[in-house]
Chain A
Amino acid sequence: MNTQNIKDEIYSYVLKLDLNKEELEHIDNYVKELLLYLTPLIEGQEKVLANEEQFQAFKKELFKKIGD
């Protein structure tokens, strides 16, 4: 998952709606702000999934939390 995938799904939804220029600009900014908040989270997720060390560390933290 990366931000592009989210964008794709959001825009495939938005483009069906026949918005005018002003409305598209409004929505575009909304999406921009939304992704701004979500990007670090998404990147963090990707990093954990891509890096074995990070993955194991995450797993360890998780299992510590659930009492393993």
Chain B
Amino acid sequence: MSRETLKDFLNSRGSSADSISVTLSEKPDGLGVEPNTGEELLNLANDAKGLLGDYVKHLIDMTDNEYKLKGGNSLAGSGLRGEDLTIADSQGAEKIFIEQGTILKSKLNENSNSKQFNSSGTDLDTLIDKVGKNFSNHEKLKEVQGQTSNIHGKTLVNPNGEDNDIVQATQRVFLQNNRFANVGDQNRQSFTDKPQSVSEFESAEKTTNVGTYNLQNKFGSYDKDSKIVSIDQLKQLGASLLLKSSGFSGGNTPGTTGNTQELLEDISNGTAFNFNRVAGFSKLDTENMRAKNSKGFPEDIFGSSFRSGKGNIVENDPNANNIKSFGSTYNSAFRFQGNTLKLHNIQAAISMIALKNVGLSFWSDFIERLRTEDKIDLNSSGEAYVKENANADVLTYMLGKSRQLSSLQLDSHIFSNLLTNTTYSYSAAVDRGFDVIFRTTKDERDNKEKVAQSKVITDSPGFWIAVSRSILKTLDNVYSSQLVLNQNLASRELFVLYKSIVDSNKFIQFFNVLATIGDISLASTAGVKTKLDDANFKHPRDVDAIPDNRAIPGKSRNKDGLNRNELSWSQDAPTSMYLLPANIIRAAGKLNNTVFGESPVRAMFGSKLAKSTYTGVDVDGSYNRIPKEVVKIVEDKLDAEYMPFYIQDLRTNEIISFQAFLSSLTDTITPNYTSVKGYGRADAVQIYESTSRSLNVDFTLFATNREDFDTMWYKINKFITLLYPQYTPGTMVSNGAGSKFYQPFSQVVGASPIVRLRIGDVIKSNYSRFGLARTFGIGDTNVSAVADNRNGIVDLMANGASNLAKLKSLKDSLTDIALKVWLTTFGSPHSVVNAAFGAVATPKNAYVKIAKSTAKSATISALSNLLVNGFANPLAVDSIMAQLKDPNSDRDDVVTSIAAAITKIDKKGRLSNSGQGLKNGYTSLPEGGEKLRQMILKPNVVNGYFCAENGKKYLTSRRLKVLITEKGAMSNLSELAGLPSFIGYKVKIIDSNAPSEISAGSDKHFIVRHSDILPDPKELFTNSLLGTTLFALNPGASVADSFLELANEYTLSKGIPNELNDLARMLYLSDEAMFMRPEVNPFTRAIETTKGRGLAGVIKGITFNWIDDFPWEVDHNARAPMGVKISFAFDVIHDLPPGLDHSGYNRAPLYNVGEVMKNISGDVYSDDGRTAEFNFRKEGAKATRVKGENNS
């Protein structure tokens, strides 16, 4: 074809050829001459010449193209950047699209730079240079900074434009030139006329507004004056669509569709319904729910849409399941709250119940029929088989045959391909799933309240409505595509229906979800179908439901905590022990800080620290230390931890324990040698010098709640003291007139911070009395170690009791006696025993020394069984802890006498309970009570607090001061309906900084839970028995007397502790064992005075990482991280130098791990760690779980 065209062209030029030949020219300005025609192919010197150009013109001339070309060839316009563009008229065309000099051409030129951009205040050509002479456009764009992607993955330039001219100018031009720009502001510019008010802009009158939507109903012509849709109409259109889709508005044209405003008012008044009174709910035709048929769309005088009959949806699309819809479930008036919420819930529940019944009943009947058939078939064929094969193995036959059974095949297929795997029967799991979600078990259905409060539904009604509708719609789609409604279904159709249901899969998916939920629920009860929320049932896999213990790492919540949300890994979960010297308590009193100002006793006994505080008459003065017997008790208790991790301050014997959230633990042992080189020796002589051992530990502290946060920060502060020395009292000075005091800053370093570190069983002391004995050479044949003075035993208990009386004669001063009585009553009872035994003269006789020591240990050990954490006084602790305890829990005892306290102590060393709980919690006072009884209400921006007076809910972002005015069941405290029953408080807001509506003068009350209140140590302590007695001291000695008697009595009555075993053991001690006893051997005594299971050493440095991964608390005086990563280095000072002894055996192994090493290294304590091991097992017993129906 093209060859013919070319031939025609050449013929017209007098040539008979059908191709163009080329004779290359030597001229630089052309290709050369075509030999047949003698014409130049390309002549750039003459615009009218050029065979190739003529051929192109020939081709164009042959078409209907009106825009013809000139013949010949000419040089094209420059395309180089910076060169002016060549106008189209001089580019070789006879006719061009837009000619010079026309109006259209001037408009086109405007578009090149409309000058609109200049309204931004920055001319366009200063930002972008078309000719690129001034700067590079590419470089300019690179300067526009982006920002990180948002949640939708989109990046935007910084809206503020930073300092970039392009961004700022672009934003200004957009702000000033858009259809809304001048609405309500005559100083702005826009494409619409100005000025213009909002109402004018939104109105249907479009005399001045040309920027809004016009309906275009003809193709090819733009009508800008008629069928304008105002903003007001667009709003109406949106509302109408919602009303239609939610079933409140019918009509298939704009005219027949109800007025939106009137409908919304009717819905609010409860006089409009989204269902047909006769037919009930019905699905809507989606055609009716289109914008063109809704109110607000342009309509003709008959009310029909201007778009009527146009743009119809494809009703018979084979890929479309349905042209009808259940529509939306809500609109602006009908929402998931208020009066309509209940109906939504009920509809969802009803849908599920119906679907459950339809699906499960058929399936169970069908499969049962199959099984019956299989059974008959198996029986009959089995009988026939036996008759024919009398000697064959019937069981093998049955096994093979059973694989062909219909019911099993179906079961296998269904379960492997369709239904989710469940541990328990699928139908049982689905039933249970329904029970969990809808509480449809019969017992609970009988409980009206429970049904109404089904939390799963009330928490997310919209979700369940959506689920329900989705399933119904699936079902309906199947009907619509496969069947005619009300058709009499036969098996074939039914099968097709089910196949469609299965293929569409939502029906099955929903039941799979139910089965999964139900299966988990059944698994939690080991398959036992308990009542839901049966508080007495012990869920075998629910570690939080088993008794509190320190043996299971996975346990999260405490079952018997101070409140139901208390976690088992809180700061005070592993026992810590802090010293509160009597000096400090006295100082607070003498400085009049009883109520206001610093008062450590208030801080420690006004918080959870009460159970970790050691105070008493034996810690008064300088260099106070918690008795080593108490240290042993705490260490024995900590040995029952899942992973013991604590530090003992050897200056005070305090113990700071942590949850072992370790992220790094390294142990480096480095021997050091001095190298001495000798002439002629290749290798240096290595002379041993020393071996150093250092540890590096990284771990994390994290507060589990606000109260725990306070405890954590006390712990951190105590931890830091391990890097500083203990100081001497200083130099006493006097003015000669009776005033004496220590000279300020005269204190010097009195003790270095030596500590013991315990981490599991890998980092602990290498001390054992056996190891020490080996340093005496005991075991060597030439050694014979014998203690002197081996005489008989005296009656220590009688001797001790007589010495106890000495305590009564302590009469330094009235205040001091009173303080001592207080310390005796509320301090650790050990301190009394310790002090009493301390008052007994030290005998010279070795047996008596040992007997005195063991009797004291036995007394303390037996007494510890009665005490919180083994050392804290239950009377002191309980009056604090009872206040901290949530009144919803079952304990209720708040005792007021020591005798009552001791008689009510339970196995856990705490006061027993009578099950009412109401006496727990904070003290309430009637209106006008003491101002000191105020508490702090925690911020709550999630659920907020109900106001009893106005029923409003207030979300508080900061703490509020409140006064607890009532305590009790909520139903008694408030008329507010719908609140679940719980014991809580009615608190009066006395905070003048509260919003005026609820501030101090407004007499408003909140209904709050126990956990909503942040106890103020000051108030808590003042409200307690401790505070009351400490600050209103009764100097009578009778309390102390009765306590001491009781202590003695209980000590004697409680079993035989290990220390008493030691007492008996002493009778048959060998000479060497006697020799090694600390009572007679000063070396043993020296080492064991500071003994502990931890590895001794010094902390060389601590690094706190406050930022990484930790949120910060923002409460007052608490704007600090809720957790911290701590790294510290630790240089070891071994109790016994490691290495080989002279006989060649490991004298002090570093790692006492495992049974073999335990038998080699023993234990630091003389009971060989038996108490610790006993405690370890005891905690394990608590963690034992029970399975089965009657397990509670």
In chain A, positions 1-34 with a C-beta closer than 8 Å to chain B are 1, 5-6, 9-10, 12-14, 16-19, 22-23, 25-34
Task: For B412, give the chain A residue with the smallest CB separation.
Answer: A66
Q: B357, A5: Cβ atoms under 8 Å?
A: yes
A26 to B494, CA, bound (A): 31
Q: CB within 8 A of A44: which of B353, B366, B413, B489?
A: B489
Q: CB within 8 A of A54: which of B270, B280, B490?
A: B490
Determine whether B276 belongs to the interface, using a CB cutoff of 8 Å to chain A: yes
Q: A49, B369: Cβ atoms under 8 Å?
A: yes
Q: A6, B358: Cβ atoms under 8 Å?
A: yes
Determine whether B349 belongs to the interface, using a CB cutoff of 8 Å to chain A: yes
Task: For A49, give the chain B residue with the smallest CB separation.
Answer: B365
Q: A13, B409: Cβ atoms under 8 Å?
A: no
Q: B280, A32: Cβ atoms under 8 Å?
A: yes
Task: For B446, give the chain A residue with the smallest CB separation.
Answer: A16
Determine whether B123 belongs to the interface, using a CB cutoff of 8 Å to chain A: no
Q: B475, A33: Cβ atoms under 8 Å?
A: no
Which of B339-347, B734-742, B845-853, B1029-1037 forms contacts with chain A? Answer: B339-347
Task: For B368, give the chain A residue with the smallest CB separation.
Answer: A49
A35 to B281, CA, bound (A): 11
Q: A38, B495: Cβ atoms under 8 Å?
A: no
Task: For B449, give the chain A residue with the smallest CB separation.
Answer: A16
A46 to B166, CA, bound (A): 74
Contacts of A45 in B (CB 8 A): 358, 361-362, 365, 489, 494
Which of B479-487, B604-612, B673-681, B969-977 forms contacts with chain A? Answer: B479-487
Q: Given A30-B275, A45-B362 in contact, is the A13-B349 Cβ separation under 8 Å?
A: yes
Task: For A66, give the chain B residue with the smallest CB separation.
Answer: B413
Determine whether B282 belongs to the interface, using a CB cutoff of 8 Å to chain A: yes
- In the assembled complex, the CB of B182 is this many whole angstroms from the nearest CB of chain A, namely 49
A62 to B494, CA, bound (A): 10
Task: For B484, give the chain A residue with the smallest CB separation.
Answer: A40
Contacts of B483 in A (CB 8 A): 40
Task: For B351, give the chain A residue with the smallest CB separation.
Answer: A34
Contacts of B358 in A (CB 8 A): 1, 6, 38, 41-42, 45
Determine whether B493 belongs to the interface, using a CB cutoff of 8 Å to chain A: yes
Contacts of B487 in A (CB 8 A): 40
Q: B354, A34: Cβ atoms under 8 Å?
A: yes
Determine whether B491 belongs to the interface, using a CB cutoff of 8 Å to chain A: yes
Chain B interface bracket (under 10, 10 to 19, 20 to 34, 35 or more)? 35 or more
Q: Given A37-B479, A43-B488 in contact, is the A1-B362 Cβ separation under 8 Å?
A: yes
In chain B, positions 45-62 with a C-beta closer than 8 Å to chain A are none
Contacts of B342 in A (CB 8 A): 17, 19, 23
Q: B357, A44: Cβ atoms under 8 Å?
A: no
Q: Given A13-B353, A41-B489 in contact, is the A26-B275 Cβ separation under 8 Å?
A: yes
Contacts of B410 in A (CB 8 A): 62-63, 66
Task: For B448, give the chain A residue with the smallest CB separation.
Answer: A16
Determine whether B476 belongs to the interface, using a CB cutoff of 8 Å to chain A: yes
Q: A6, B357: Cβ atoms under 8 Å?
A: yes
A38 to B369, CA, bound (A): 23
Determine whether B370 belongs to the interface, using a CB cutoff of 8 Å to chain A: yes
Contacts of B504 in A (CB 8 A): none
Residue with the greatest number of chain B CB neighbours at <10 A, chosen from A6, A41, A53, A65: A41
Contacts of B406 in A (CB 8 A): 59, 63
Q: A17, B351: Cβ atoms under 8 Å?
A: no
Q: Given A17-B452, A49-B366 in contact, is the A9-B353 Cβ separation under 8 Å?
A: yes
A53 to B280, CA, bound (A): 36
Interface pairs (22), CB distance under 8 Å: A9-B440, A16-B445, A16-B446, A16-B451, A17-B451, A19-B346, A33-B279, A33-B281, A33-B282, A38-B475, A40-B483, A40-B487, A40-B489, A44-B489, A44-B493, A44-B494, A47-B490, A48-B489, A55-B369, A55-B491, A58-B495, A63-B409
**Residues of B bordering A, CB below 8 Å:** 270, 273, 275-277, 279-282, 342-343, 346-347, 349-351, 353-354, 357-358, 361-362, 365-366, 369-370, 406, 409-410, 413, 417, 440, 445-446, 448, 451-452, 472, 475-476, 479, 483, 485-495, 497, 499
Which 7 interchain pairs have the tightest Cβ spacing?
A: A44-B489, A29-B280, A1-B361, A33-B280, A58-B491, A33-B281, A61-B495
